Amino acid sequence: MTKRSPLALAVLALLLEMPMHPYRMQQLITLRGKDKVVNVSQRASLYSTIERLTRDGLIRVAEVERDGSRPERSIYEISDAGRATARNWLTDMLSVPKRGFPEFHAALAHAPVLEPEELAGLLRTRRDAVAVEASELQAELSAVSAFLPRVVLLDAELIVRTRATELHFLEDVLSSLDSGTMSWSRESLAALSHANEHSL
């Protein structure tokens, strides 16, 4: 069974449109702004994904382009099994929430390792970066939403809203840190660990 991944789904979805070669796939993912949700920065990852999908019978080589002195290029097309797989993946990915393990969440889980002032400084740096990214993403979305249907921009819209939510969260945490309503010390954490040991 083929391992599901955002990149594998992107390849199948593109080939549902028309047969194409890997370089064209990478171009379209980037041109359409889908490189924000599908990592195509390493072409080797794209080629290994294509090899896996070919091996598993979900796509196949339709033809090989030969253009003078340029290297040969394989044009891929989707198979019936690939169409069914793409639909099954989409059905599951859209309807069933999947628990993830984001790095930022993991870091927050261990935030008490730092001093309150140190955490505040790091979160301010992140807040400023998120604010810039959110502003840029919103500007990009506004620029294209006038002439593109909303359905092809849903991923971008979710990213913008997620960034806005994170920004609100960061502002709230920083407010608590700055006011001193959220604070801790090595001693208080040690006491908490000691209490937890006795409750187990």
One-letter identity of residue 69 = S
Element (H, E) at 186: helix 186-199
> CA 13, CA 7: separation in Å to the nearest integer?
10
- List, as own/partner pairs, every contact residues 58-62 make where C-beta atoms lie below 8 angstroms and the sequence separation is at least 24, other chains included: 58/2, 58/12, 58/82, 58/85, 59/11, 59/12, 59/15, 62/19
Q: What pLDDT, in 10s, does the model give residues 180-197?
A: 999 888 777 777 766 666
What CA–CA distance (Å, rounded) separates 177 from 169? Answer: 12
Residue pLDDT tens, the chain, 200 long: 788 999 999 999 999 999 999 999 999 999 999 999 999 888 899 999 999 999 999 999 999 988 767 778 899 999 999 999 999 999 999 999 988 889 999 999 999 999 999 999 999 999 999 999 999 999 999 999 989 999 999 999 999 999 999 999 999 999 999 999 998 887 777 777 666 665 65
β-pair partners for 19: none
pTM metric for this prediction: 0.84
